[in-house]
Amino acid sequence: MITAPGSGQGKSMVTAALARLHRNAGRKVRVFKHGPDYLDPMVLEVASGQPVYQLHPWMTGEDECRWRLAEAAQEADLILVEGSMGLFDGDPSSADLAKLMGIPALPVIDARGMAQTFGAVALGLASFDPELPVHQVIANRIGSPRHGDMLRESLPKGIELLGAIPRNDAMNIPDRHLGLVQAAEVADLDARLDAAADVLQEAGLDQLPRPVQLSAEPPHPPKRLLEGTCIAIARDAAFAFIYRANLDLLEAMGADLVFFSPLADSRLPQADALWLPGGYPELHGATLADNTGLLADIRAHHAAGKPILAECGGLMACCEHLVDRDGNRHPMLGLMPVRAEMADRLQALGLQGLATVDGELRGHTYHHSRLTTDWQPLARTRKVAGTEAEPVFSHHGLVASYFHGYFPSAPAVVARIFRGEPIQPKETNHG
């Protein structure tokens, strides 16, 4: 478990560079991400050359966490799990996942402006929870070899310095308001990752961790509730927030998946249902608004009563207008009497669940835009952690919300949405 005392310590790039370092050494590396994150896994997939899945004891379930790691252990030489926030932050935290899986935590500590206190921070992380093994730490952003020696000497007995990473531009990656820039938007990402791997090689970070034993029973296959259903899925720089596990589930339930780009394709593929996932439509408002042929096809799909699932960025695309960060107003699909407008700060963040008679669809919310509407939602999600519950709108086959769902948590609910059947919320959806 690659973790840290908090966000901003550099663990994402360290995890990616470790994956690339061992991959370049001829090892098969599998990487996982703790928590509901879309952007880090994109970079980690490029770094490792393998698919990346989310692990979260509440959202994905404990059994699925165990199964995914055990399955990866059948073929991988090295498994890395990138934590979220700080090691003990959240419920369940990265520490909780590490304990559940029986794997040690490896904290990445930003050592800028720090000397002997480094040892105190490492000791605190290692001793805060006696059930969590912490054998090693990584010092990040050191100023000199002597600085690294001081940090090593500060460590108490039982904790070793795995490596000290110098400040280096190769260890940086661009970001924006929702996190890292999408991997596909970084033209030289492979070269950056190779350079970062070289930095870690020189810092002595090429050794493998101690082996652990992982075992789990495989899950039962889902019912083929979407047999013969063709689902068109928007996927490009504007709509890219898609869990791999969601696609796997749709196919396992019998759905045929076709992908299209709202930025580049002028026509909607022939399909029974449509999925507009989250992403960055606010960065491409003019291009989306100018794609009149595709907009007309999606409007016709909706007018025919065919199912549409619109999550976060997809919800924004279904609004009458989208106001971007510069105040520019872009006409959107107009499937909802709603206006979406970018705000200057985060509007919502946290784990959420949509409780229905068919089960609870679990997931999260994270957005910088806000809605203006008098339209009444069908239901509201249940707040598990973070900000207030999100409205879930539904009309004429359209289900739209800021809520991002993890489909395997409630296959029957997902099947109902893509078959165009009404969601039946439970009365617990008060947030």
Residues known to be catalytic: 312
Q: Which residues pair with 401 in a beta bridge?
A: 311, 392
76 and 28 in contact (C-beta within 8 Å)?
yes
Half-sphere exposure of 51 (CA within 13 A, CB side): 13
**Which 3 state secondary structure label does DSSP give 133?**
coil
Determine how β-strand 321-323 pairs with β-strand 339-342. Answer: parallel
DSSP 8-state class, residue 60: I
Quote the Cα angle for 39-41-44, to 5°: 120
Positions of E strands within 41-184: 53-55, 78-82, 106-110, 136-142, 160-166, 175-176, 179-180
328 and 396 in contact (C-beta within 8 Å)?
no
Residue type, 291: N
User: How far, in Å, CA of 396 to CA of 76, rounded?
Assistant: 46
Pull the structure tokens for residue 223: 């019912």
Tell me which residue of 123, 29, 31 sits closest to 77, measured CA to CA.
Answer: 29
Tell me which residue of 112, 209, 126 sits closest to 164, measured CA to CA.
Answer: 112
DSSP 8-state class, residue 242: -
**Which 3 state secondary structure label does DSSP give 199?**
helix
